[in-house]
A and B are shown apart, each in its own frame.
Chain A
Amino acid sequence: MRKHILILFGCLFTLTNLYGQSRVTIEITSSLETKTASSILIAVEKDAFFEKFSLQLAKDLENSDWLDIKSVAWKTEFNISSEMEKASRENVRLLIVCEAKEKLEVKVYDIFEKSLIFEFKTDIEKSPVDLAHTVCDEIIYRLTGKPGIAKSKILYMTRTKDIHTIMMADYDGSNATQIFSAQYIINYPRWFPGMEKVLFLSYRKTFPSLDLLDLKTRQMETFLSEPGLNACASFFRNQSMAAVVLSKSGNPDIYIVDLKGKIIRRITEKKGINASPSVSPDGQDIAFVSDRDGKTRLWVMNPSGLNVRKVDIPSNYTTSPCWSPDGRYLAYAVRYGTEMFIEIYDWNTGKRKLLTNGISWADAPCWAPDSRHLIFTRQDRYQNSLWAIDIHNLKMKKIADNAWSGCWALR
């Protein structure tokens, strides 16, 4: 077991410095499907607040899919050497110690190396759940170098009779709240850069436009309302721009617009359909759907519409591309036979990985900020539900029933 974990971690611990604090990135070079065995030690007097905090922290770390929490212990008096020795006998790799002083002090120890990997302090927030999310995301970021998902929010659509509603929930589907309802059709909610506004397709003015809702002020404004279709927005992370689909010219084509909705340029001009752009995180490429060669396939171009090349996927129907936040993968919906699957394409290796084997119909993948999880719409007996999946161990969790069009990270 010990050997296995050693292989799992492979070459370890690249030390970097950020804001004066030492940060540790564990580069996992072997199978990511095995979680790292960990324990939590709460060095605080047990009360309702910290009990809730510890339970939530354990849940968040488990749900990150990087760590496996073997135990949660409460001790105000302890000797760290003997705690590490005990954890070592239980084949635990990481020990997480949380101690409440003026701030919450978190220390993470490597049991095998018998050393402190990193420590940090954080304000004790009013909500134990929020505090646990904060601590979890910091631990995951320092361990993996990737953003955690515990504080992230998911947007999705639901509908009851003729009322269409945009919902917002925690990363695990809990605390779902309505953020906007309408009797006219609304769909495809997406985070706007800054994550304080939500962009969505709206038939408020009869014809489909892109509307923007400010979550703080509740103010609604029209983002884009060109003649014809206005849809499928994907944002550049490093520039104040978005790629969208407009049909004003008489054909559905991809355009670049600024964040005030002003058109900068048109970037596709082929006859036929050009749809669903997804901008790469570095802003150098845009994946999109086109039937320019007679089949509905994925293509990639640069933001000027040049250097167009086909993504090599053996299907006549591939849609809904979504670039992972770390830039490594492209997720998409693909038809094989009569069934629709979610698959990812690894740009590093050129290999594809089918994620939703055994599910007859899956669509609309959208990545989590950690580039490890994504959400998708699953259809069983023509009922939609929203699911999250870990791309490494393929473990799935239901986020919501009667739900579709999920959006997790900025896309």
Chain B
Amino acid sequence: MKLEKVICVALSAVILSLMLSGCCPYSKKKTAEKEIQPAVEAVSPQKTAIVQREEPSVPLPVKPDIEKGKATSAEVKIATTGGEIPVARPEGDMKFVEPGEQLKEIFQPIYFDFDRYNIRTSEQSKLKILAEYLRKNSEISILIEGHCDERGTDEYNLVLGEKRALSTRNFLIGLGIAPARIYTISYGEARPADPGHNEEAWTKNRRAEFKIKQ
């Protein structure tokens, strides 16, 4: 009986200690550290280099929608919720040209309110037409130029022009165009479409214009 009691107490102690060790914050921390280790290793340059060497023998799957110049569903979701999609890095000396006369109806400038960069409802149809064209011509990449009127301050207008170009880009990505096909540039107030100094000219100058990559 005494032996049974001793065994019982001993077993209880072991179970209790196991339970306590399982609940101990220190043990949890240890587990957590172990869990994040692979992630830390995965971004080390050495590992990246190894993955790159292994690439030829184990080719990564290519997403079919990227091949067609379309945005991924994740990119569409980010673009439509106002998130950030990194801008494309220009390759060497890139050249962009005005769309030919036959494309003027498709590559129409869009216009903005003073000190604003949101895409007006009235301008969205122009971007839908452009997106449709780009979907059908997946080899074409474009440049969006952001411009401002002269009434804002000079340096701020440079950044506002960039934001207008980026908002336009986001709208096109939201319509399914791959971000890699869309470059942006701001000229601030340096290149007005209308050199006038009145409301009519300013309205024309607050715009995003489109060029085609050669």
Contact = CB atoms under 8 A, between A and B. Distances in A.
Interface of A: 185, 187-188, 201, 205-208, 227-229, 231-232, 245, 247-252, 271-273, 275-276, 289, 291, 296, 317, 319-320, 333, 340, 363-364, 377, 382, 404-405
Q: What range describes how many residues of B lie at the interface? A: 35 or more
Given A185-B187, A206-B90, A228-B184, A275 B154 contact: no
Contacts, number: 104
A364 B153 contact: yes
Nearest to B183: A207
Given A207-B90, A208-B185, A319-B153, A232 B159 contact: yes
Given A227-B88, A229-B186, A248-B86, A275 B156 contact: yes
Contacts of A271: 82
Contacts of A382: 150, 197
A275 B159 contact: yes
B34 interface: no
Given A185-B187, A252-B162, A227 B155 contact: no
Contacts of B153: 319-320, 333, 340, 363-364
Most buried by B among A206, A245, A364, A404: A206
Contact of B85 (A205, A250, A296): A250
Top 7 nearest A-B pairs (CB, nearest first) are A250-B84, A275-B159, A319-B156, A228-B87, A227-B89, A319-B153, A229-B162
A317 B152 CA distance: 9
A206 B159 contact: no
A334 B141 CA distance: 39
Interface in B148-196: 150, 152-156, 158-160, 162-163, 166, 169-170, 183-187, 190
Interface string B33-65: 000000000000000000000000000000000
B156 A320 contact: yes
Contacts of B154: 187, 363-364, 377, 404-405
B84 A249 contact: yes
Given A185-B187, A207-B185, A382-B150, A275 B155 contact: yes
Given A206-B90, A271-B82, A364-B155, A252 B163 contact: yes
Given A247-B162, A363-B153, A227 B197 contact: no
Contacts of B158: 187, 201, 208, 229, 231-232
A64 B150 CA distance: 34
B108 to A, nearest CB: 23
Contacts of A291: 115
Given A206-B94, A404-B154, 19 more contacts: A185-B187, A185-B190, A227-B86, A227-B88, A228-B87, A247-B162, A248-B87, A249-B84, A250-B83, A250-B166, A250-B169, A252-B162, A275-B159, A276-B155, A319-B156, A340-B153, A363-B153, A364-B153, A377-B154
